[in-house]
Amino acid sequence: MSAHPIGVKRASTILKPDQSRVLLRPFNPGNSQRAGQIIARIMSLPEERVGPLMEEISAEFSQRHQGIHGLFLERFEHVRGLLAADAEVSGQRRLLIGSYFLAEYSLESAALFNPSIVPHPDQSGLPGGALRFILSLRATGEGHISSITFRTGVIHPDHRIEVFTPTGFLSEPRQIQNSQYEKGLFSRKLAELGLTGEFTRRLMDRLGETFSLQDLRGGLDAELNLGRQHDDQQTAQGAWMLARSNYEVQFPPGQPLSERILFPATPSQRNGIEDARFVRFQNDDGSHMYYATFTAYDGRVVMPELVETSDFLRFRFVTLNGPAAQNKGMALFPRKINGLYAMLSRQDSESIYLMYSDNVHFWNERKLLIKPAFPWELVQIGNCGSPLETSAGWLVLSHGVGPMRKYCIGAFLLDRDDPSKVIGRLREPLLQPDQDEREGYVPNVVYTCGALLHEGELVIPYGLADHATGFATVPVEEVLSAMQPEESTPGAQAPARGNQ
């Protein structure tokens, strides 16, 4: 392969954060004592004032949120325990109390960036050569809390990219209360966390081969009632937190995809769900599942986690376990390699590693694949989403950080049968910030969490300065032709053959 100019084209479509896209979320104005005082003041209002107040609130907010009265009543049920046991509360006052403990959250007030793109499960009704896609985006709002939002669109036969305008209402999914856990998998996760011993053995003996969260709660209570030793309490707390971190959610059928929001829901995600890398994964039987690795952030620690879905209505969140499940930037290959799941990762905060596993939830070994080599990536490199399969090999987009903390997008090529072999690498960036893209929340950054191949064209959605999202296209053959052999890379060396 020889060096060749690459004709990257930037599309005119730019997705910018929209502060009017608001989500109704629980508002907690303080501890239970203060909340109780607020409720007492609401209860002291004369009944004749309650109705008019509710009319005002409804007039102001009912056009911004669907089913707002149902949400008021649901929130009232969350706080009704702070009322006196014998308190008489009218229907209107229940609505009013609920309204005081909700608030609008502007989902995209700060940024809408770091996208990934996958084929939509529904490709019906399109002309030949067109593709319907799903775009996931990192939306960042008040408090710099990030969540996952979605858009849909079409790549037209002439490679024109159309992103459909999102609808106005936003909502979170309902958590599925009767989620089932597999005993074998759950036990393995407990062992990975060091939660072993007699208490764990007795607890697992109480549970069936599959069990619900309620079954687990009952087993924990029964074991703790036998004797509350300090170690048993710690193990019980760890088992409960593990279960709560592995959960399922469901959106209502028919809800537009742009209205579905995956907002942080567990302690590990408290400060954000960041940089989801979605991939359409082909199972052994030819069916498909969508996986996304993402970074969960609790304000201090980053943890890689996984979400899976077949229809973008029901999502299953799963913890990733094992010594190699650490740091940021894990990206799953779109199919198994030689019977094993394969994943790219960044273990040391600056290089790219390759991992294999017989279970998508457990990652134990890793091998060094690529180190920083060129001036534009000497600070660190990492993947920019899941590898893309071509006839020449696995095409991987990468990001590199260089002088002045400038982020660029590069690429390299791996052998299809043995991805530990690096076939080629771009010596120069494929995409770097131009004068119209360098200003934003974090200057001088272009970054993507996943691209798409369609009709010979590489389609790259990318974040602009950690603020907005743009698109670029380039013929994939031009990218492959510009690859240089890895042996010509400065400081190149054979990938390590053992654990690093």
What is the rounded CA–CA span in Å between residue 5 and residue 430?
10
The per-residue pLDDT for range 17-27, each reduced to its tens digit, is: 999 999 999 99
pLDDT at 1: 41
Let me know if residue 164 belongs to a domain. Answer: no
**Nearest Cα to Cα of residue 280 among 271, 269, 268, 288:** 288
120 touches 77 (CB < 8 A): no
Let me know if residue 124 belongs to a domain. Answer: no
Token pair, residue 169, equals: 């209402």
Domain hosting residue 404, numbered range: 9-17+259-488
76 touches 95 (CB < 8 A): yes
Residues 466 and 364 in one domain: yes
Token pair, residue 390, equals: 């071509």
Residues 442 and 298 in one domain: yes
pLDDT at 490: 60
Residues 326 and 223 in one domain: no
The per-residue pLDDT for range 372-412, each reduced to its tens digit, is: 999 999 999 999 999 999 999 999 999 999 999 999 999 99
Let me know if residue 148 belongs to a domain. Answer: no
Residues 236 and 263 in one domain: no
What is the rounded CA–CA span in Å between residue 94 and residue 76?
6
Residues 277 and 331 in one domain: yes
* Low-confidence spans in the chain with pLDDT less than 70: 1-4, 228, 488-500
**Residue type for 53, please?**
L
Let me know if residue 435 belongs to a domain. Answer: yes
Where does residue 287 fall: left (phi above 0), alpha (psi -120 to 50 degrees), or beta otherwise? beta
Instruction: Compute the chain's Rg from CA coordinates.
Output: 25
**Residue type for 251, please?**
F
**Nearest Cα to Cα of residue 140 among 106, 174, 98, 191:** 106
Which of residues 245, 271, 286 is at a domain's end?
245
Residues 265 and 397 in one domain: yes
Residues 309 and 232 in one domain: no
Residues 13 and 26 in one domain: no
Which of residues 106, 125, 146 is at a domain's end?
106
Residues 267 and 236 in one domain: no
381 touches 396 (CB < 8 A): no
10 Å Cβ neighbour count for 400? 24
pLDDT at 489: 60
Residues 382 and 347 in one domain: yes
Let me know if residue 230 belongs to a domain. Answer: yes
What is the rounded CA–CA span in Å between residue 177 and residue 6?
51
Q: Which letter does DSSP use for residue 145 in this model?
A: -
Let me know if residue 428 belongs to a domain. Answer: yes
What is the rounded CA–CA span in Å between residue 304 and residue 382?
14
Q: Which letter does DSSP use for residue 491 in this model?
A: T
* Residue 190 φ then ψ, to 5°: -60, -45
219 touches 206 (CB < 8 A): yes
SS3 441: coil
Residues 325 and 385 in one domain: yes
Number of compact structural domains in the chain: 3
What is the rounded CA–CA span in Å between residue 420 and residue 394?
11
395 touches 388 (CB < 8 A): yes
**Nearest Cα to Cα of residue 388 among 430, 429, 442, 344:** 344
Let me know if residue 407 belongs to a domain. Answer: yes
Let me know if residue 254 belongs to a domain. Answer: no
Residues 309 and 221 in one domain: no
Q: Which residues share a beta bridge with 95? A: none
Which of residues 78, 106, 134 is at a domain's end?
106
